[in-house]
Structure 1
């Protein structure tokens, strides 16, 4: 697995942790660099040493969440190619995203966070590639080519359906009090996706291996783009 190497000191790590807590508590729009520096126990100029603006810092935080999601997926598919079956990929995505608070905020429609992520055209394109709808569009054609998704419906309809299911389950898991109870929501999600998309018979080992290899190529390419963004955004020489 890649390691997310920090190019800076423990001070910068404290800045990242403090910024995350403040953004989660107050929202991206209300947090200031002064508040972040006070919480981290550093001078305001130290924050600017590593990130030119508050927005750059917040985008760096979100990129780290994306890196974690992608690295987790890569590790799981590498270890077990059967993870590329739609039921397993869907539950993996939901479980991983649900553990990352900034990703949760974006999925719940945080307009201020979305605005910050979409400010720059280059950043906008990169972050758009990592959204669940975009990942569905990239990965599902691979799965369908190798027989892991049925051919009885048009692929765009299947992509739309899976995205809708993931959106609904994410909302239910994030706000359990507003949803009917379930003993294990992730098992319910896996069963739902299997009924929605998967063929009745088990996939062949060769099909799983080929689909896993091609899916890993997509995930690694996106992971590497995110890692390059993090490296560039946190450089003191920027």
Structure 2
């Protein structure tokens, strides 16, 4: 397994921590290598020993955040395979996504710059794989194959339903003051909606849940490993 540079170098770890703090403080457009180096307690040249440019540093930073979010879902499903059922998977994905502190901090202008960096790096498809549409396209066929979805609806319609739940609830949760105030926790409401719209009348066997969870984690683990590879490509060889 590839060892990340921050696990080998305390200086690299401090640089990454400083860069992340800067993004959280004022986004990515104003971030400078000099500012990051000063906050990390290293010379500006030290940053370039690990990353050839600010753009590579930023790309590696956001790849790490995406990888961390995937790790959270993988660890949860591994520990509790029953969480792969729609009523639990939908809230799990949204809760995890809300922990992406840097992505949730970005302004529209920051997002445009990040999209350009991702496009130029050739990693667009990899980052897209973590978005709701791609997740639904990858995961919902697995749930259908193991009897975790109700019969009588097409897989396309069920994937659309899950996507609508994730994006709709995600938008409402990200701007709670703009949504009507409910009596119940939004995660519970989402769970009820997912169960009502997607789950079969008869609960699937534990073995079906375990097999489906294992397949979903394999899909996510492949994406995680692709992020590890991307992180390696953003760094100076041999750093």
Where does 1:31-180 land on structure 2 (aligned, <5 Å)? 31-105=31-105, 110-121=111-122, 123-180=123-180
Helix, strand or coil: the match of 2:6? Answer: coil
Q: How many angstroms apart in 2 are the aligned matches of 1:103 and 1:88?
A: 23
- Structure 1 stretches (4+) deviating beyond 6 angstroms? 106-109
CA distance in 2, matches of 1:191, 1:234: 44
TM, length-normalised to structure 2? 0.88
Distance apart, 1:137 and its partner CA: 0.6
**Equivalent residue for 1:23?**
23
Aligned length: 237
In structure 2, list runs of 5 or more residues that go unmatched.
none
Q: Distance in 2 between matches of 1:68 and 1:4?
A: 13
Quickly say closer, same or farther: Cα 1:235–1:35, change in 2 above 3 A. same
SS in structure 2 of the partner of residue 118 of structure 1 = helix
**How far 1:185 moved relative to its partner?**
1.2
- Listed as ranges, the gaps of 5+ residues in structure 1 are none
Deviations 1:20-47 (A, max 9, x none): 1222222222222222222222221111
**In the superposition, relative to structure 1, how do residues 160 and 103 fare at CA in structure 2: closer, same or farther (>3 Å)?**
farther
CA-based RMSD of the aligned residues comes to 2.5
Q: Distance in 1 between matches of 2:94 and 2:41?
A: 35
